[in-house]
Amino acid sequence: MTTNFLYQLNQHFPHSYAITLSAAKFELGLLSQVSETLASLHPAIRLLHQDTLVNELDWQANDTLAQAEQTSPVTTIRWIVTLESDSDINDLPQRIKQIATNNLYHVDINVMPLATLVRPHKLALFDMDSTLIEQEVIVELAKKAGIGEQVDTITESAMRGEIDFAESFTRRVTLLKGLSSEVLEDIIANHITFSPGAKRLISALKNHGYYVVLVSGGFNYFAEYVKNSLGMDESYANDLDIVDNLVTGEITSAIVDGKRKAEILQAVAQRLGIKLSETVAVGDGANDLPMLGLADIGIAYRAKPIVRDQANYAVTVAGLDGVMTVLGLGD
């Protein structure tokens, strides 16, 4: 379905939503369950159009591709639905989200106003650790330093929002004091894996004219590697202070925390002349919530419960290329 066709639908049916559904298998029973769920929320909801965004043929080439270039082995269906008035439907996304979380946890269900979907978006910001890559780099550093369990505990607590990110970051970096800088290259060479579909997603965004930025609470050394590998435009992260080839354990620059990520989103958009209503943000941790909330489309990727609950959109069943279907993009 072309963007022009969606735009026309939006013009004729202004109280419409795009509902995307992704699952490993869409048997008729599952589709019936989802349909019954929607009907129970509002019997008058009307289906205007249905199309399949991803099907089983789309991932047949995965065996020949690197993980970052693969298509997630899911089927994705999109429904365009409408009701008679905005007052009837304005709470639909939250109601569907609540039911999906409780009863349809094995399906990614995202409900987006059709007006949002057809609006051009030009800037996308991504978290790095556990989003673009599968690891938390500071945890990998800690393993090399023999303090993996200590740092892992602090990291998980921070990502769940139990302790302030800046405090947790300071505590973790302090524990790295004395670590040889030689381990950084070893981690990149042997311990970093890109999330499924990451390269495919970034390439698709670039093909559709997006400016793509990495914003990380991790370290610049790794952020630059990830940015260059995926073909992103900019990266922002923390400096890892090293003297005489040893990590000092000290923090010598401002920490890229949640507040700073939101500031970067706003600053980059302003510099490029892009409205906030034309921005997208993707992340997994509590420190990503400020930018997810500021962006027009904030997507939680395989995220902690606190992030899934607060983000408007989420990708959990699919890989990172599932962001493409939320945004309505092809390759």
The residues annotated as belonging to the active site are: 127, 129
Stretch (H or E) spanning 298: strand 297-301
Give me 61's structure tokens.
């080439």
| Distance separating alpha carbons of residues 316 and 125, to the nearest angstrom | 18
Give me 179's structure tokens.
């670590």
Residue 282, SS3? strand
HSE toward the beta carbon, residue 262, CA cutoff 13 A: 14
The total of other beta-carbon atoms located within 10 Å of residue 148's CB is 14
Give me 329's structure tokens.
């993009």
In sequence order, what are the residues at sequence separation of 6 or more whose Cβ sits closer than 8 angstroms to the Cβ of residue 198?
68, 132, 133, 230, 319, 320, 321
Could you tell me which of 157, 172, 176, 180 has the C-alpha nearest to residue 255?
172
Residue 313, SS3? strand
